[in-house]
Amino acid sequence: MTSQQRAVAAASVLISSLLITVALSPQAVAAGPDPTSGGSTWVDGPRLERPGGTLMAGERPSRASAAPAGNARTAQARHPESHGNDPLPTDVAVVPGEFEPVDKTLVAWLVDDQESSADQKTYFTELVRAASANSRAVVVGGSREAVDDARTRLGAAGVDTSGIDFVDAKLNTWWIRDYGPIAARTTGGGKRFIHTKYYDDRPNDDAFAARAADLWKVPLSRTDLESEGGNFLSDGAGGCLVTTAILDRPLNVENHVTAADVRDRFGSLYGCRRTTILDPIKGEGTGHVDMFAAFTGNKDVLVGKYDPAYDPENAQVLDADADRLSAAGYRVRRIPMPRHDDGVFRSYTNSLAVNRSVLVPVYSDDTENEKAALDAYRAAFPDRTIVTIDATAIITTGGAIHCTTMTFAAR
């Protein structure tokens, strides 16, 4: 999500011309012309079959399967062009803050009659509507059928699709924040995509960064550090946030990654001069920082707050996180965290700032905290319009607006 990221934006023609079908081999094949780069090709990665059903944001399916379609180690070994590792970059300056001007907003579209409820379809329709009203929206279909479904549903809902690019890509899940490349600004004023290893049972998702890099002609750096985009936040000035959940990722455990290693690697990958490692919400499946925190400026951050009478353990966790951020020099504004009696961890910080607007999730089953949460956003973004999107249907699968989008900064 970088600021010099969009040098190719002037050539932004509808990506719908990309939607062609090709026969796939174990090697990368040219999938068709890249409409943003004057006729060069988008090199497609391996297209393995998507597991049945929509995977939860933090769900880890069986890691023991020997079937190539479900084993990332096999996919990574057979397809280094889309799953390999690269030398650490030496030219990354910073990852822009998400509150900075945005050029593109990516949304993964996997909604179909077999896998998604009517409310989930409505959620993604309203998400694309809001994103396209404030930036160039890119709908990344999880299949050709998903792209057709997106065009039909968006059009029927009255969404103006003339400002939307459509890309056909095989995907496992709609959690594009986690596997979409993070866009960094380089020391030379250019841009670089950064991709950490994603869950090993989601090889199509893990391959998407390589496809995106070729599509937009942006250099890509891939690393053997296992992490997800939802567990990374940048203040746009060299300060970064992550939770201790990164240390528990299987590949990182296997490689004996320490907190010091994370800080060192984040310095090279994201230009982080200060990495604050926070504790995640206990019991919440992803362990991601975006479930309880959001930057609203270089020195300003929203941090969730639980009622200690309801959840004393997580109240203490988030209070300690807030104190840690305050000690790091940030101005901390607290925002209420809803109850989770049903095991669903709703979050108001899982939001997205998109130019003139801020997209904030709301929940039909948590009206008691909604006003206070929206007031916190209005105070944090007094010059922007707060747009609410009902995320009740999507939060049950482990995330909300931030988890289902990826943005690239305008410069």
The torsion angles phi and psi of 358, rounded to 5 degrees, stand at -125, 120
Question: With bands split at pLDDT 50, 70 and 90, how would you rate the model's confidence at 83?
Answer: low
- Kindly report, residue by residue over 371-384, the tens digit of the pLDDT: 999 999 999 999 99
pLDDT exceeds cutoff 70 at 25: no
Q: What is the separation, in whole angstroms, between the first and last Cα of the chain? A: 10
- Kindly report, residue by residue over 320-378, the tens digit of the pLDDT: 999 999 999 999 999 999 999 999 999 999 999 999 999 999 999 999 999 999 999 99
> Between β-strands 136-141 and 164-168, what pairing exists: parallel, antiparallel or unpaired?
parallel
- Kindly report, residue by residue over 60-77, the tens digit of the pLDDT: 433 222 223 334 455 556
Among the listed residues 400, 393, 402, 348, the one whose alpha carbon sits nearest the alpha carbon of residue 370:
348
| SS3 call for 72 | helix
pLDDT on residue 140: 97
pLDDT exceeds cutoff 90 at 97: yes
Within 8 A by CB and 6+ apart from 43, the residues are 28, 29, 30, 31, 81, 210, 211, 214
pLDDT on residue 117: 84
- Kindly report, residue by residue over 228-281, the tens digit of the pLDDT: 999 999 999 999 999 999 999 999 999 999 999 999 999 999 999 999 999 999
Radius of gyration of the chain (CA): 20
Among the listed residues 47, 256, 40, 292, the one whose alpha carbon sits nearest the alpha carbon of residue 168:
47
DSSP E strand boundaries for 81-163: 92-94, 102-109, 136-141
What's the CA gap between 31 and 221, in Å, rounded?
22
Q: How far from 352 is each of 166, 348, 360, 388, CA to CA, in Å?
A: 21, 10, 7, 11
pLDDT exceeds cutoff 90 at 4: no
pLDDT exceeds cutoff 50 at 9: no
What's the CA gap between 219 and 209, in Å, rounded?
11
CB 224 within 8 A of CB 85: yes
The torsion angles phi and psi of 207, rounded to 5 degrees, stand at -85, -15
Percent of the residues in the chain that have a pLDDT greater than 90, as a whole number? 74
Q: Which CATH class is domain 102-409?
A: alpha beta
| SS3 call for 105 | strand
The sign of the CA dihedral 77, 217, 2, 120 is negative
Give the residue, 17 or 24, on which the prediction is more confident.
17
pLDDT exceeds cutoff 60 at 3: no
pLDDT on residue 77: 61
Per-residue pLDDT, averaged over 195-224, amounts to 94
Question: With bands split at pLDDT 50, 70 and 90, how would you rate the model's confidence at 51?
Answer: very low
What's the CA gap between 242 and 278, in Å, rounded?
6
Output the pTM of the full model: 0.84
Among the listed residues 98, 350, 359, the one whose alpha carbon sits nearest the alpha carbon of residue 236:
98
Among the listed residues 122, 29, 119, the one whose alpha carbon sits nearest the alpha carbon of residue 79:
29
Give the residue, 86 or 11, on which the prediction is more confident.
86
Within 8 A by CB and 6+ apart from 260, the residues are none
